[in-house]
Amino acid sequence: VKRQLQLKYVSIIFASVVLGALMVGGDIYYTMTHLILSENPSLAPMISQINNMLMFKLALYMGIIFLVSLFVSHRFAGPIYRFEKSCQSLSTGDLTHRVSLRTGDELMELQEEFNGMAAALQALVQKDRNLAARLSERVEEIAKRLPEGADHAREDLKSLKIELNHLTKSFKV
């Protein structure tokens, strides 16, 4: 898992949930205490005790929210990290590489699409490699049929054959 990315997701999820809860909870709390104290000011000590209890519960809930956001972010950050590594493998020419996510991870549809793309690229490069091999053989046959004294043309064809053989060698298929 890419820790920096996971931390970013944890922060976003945690901040969003806490902000929403504080806004709604704070408004309800303010409204309720204002109404209670305006009706019965002698309940101020009880409100103070309630405040202490609520602060403890708030800290507990924030801890639970943090753990949940950590869990949720892990299910996204891990797959994103694997996709980054897979893109790096494909960019080096390894068309046999496939993304493999854990069961339960998010982005499974993207995994299927990515692996389908890699398979399609692999098939295209294999097709081009086969075509280059056939063309290379034909170039060699043509070079053999050239008459004596056509050394320059034979060298050009030999050079062309070498280029054809290197056409898709940088790909692993």
What's the rounded Cα separation, in Å, for the pair 83 and 81?
5
Question: Phi-psi category of 88—alpha, beta or left, where left has phi over 0 and alpha has psi -120 to 50?
Answer: alpha
pLDDT in tens, 57-114: 999 999 999 999 888 888 888 899 899 999 999 999 999 999 999 887 788 999 999 9
Question: Phi-psi category of 40—alpha, beta or left, where left has phi over 0 and alpha has psi -120 to 50?
Answer: beta
Two structure tokens written together for 142: 């043509």
Q: What rounded mean pLDDT belongs to the chain?
A: 91
pLDDT higher than 90, residue 137: yes
Alpha-helical regions (H) of the chain = 3-39, 44-91, 108-145, 151-165
pLDDT in tens, 26-43: 999 999 999 999 999 999
- Using a pLDDT cut of 90, give the percent of the chain over it: 68
DSSP code at position 94: B
What number of CA atoms fall less than 13 Å from residue 96's CA on the CB side?
Answer: 4
pTM of structure: 0.66
Buried residues in 134-156 as b, exposed as e (16+ CB within 10 A)? eebeebeeebeeeeeeeeeebee
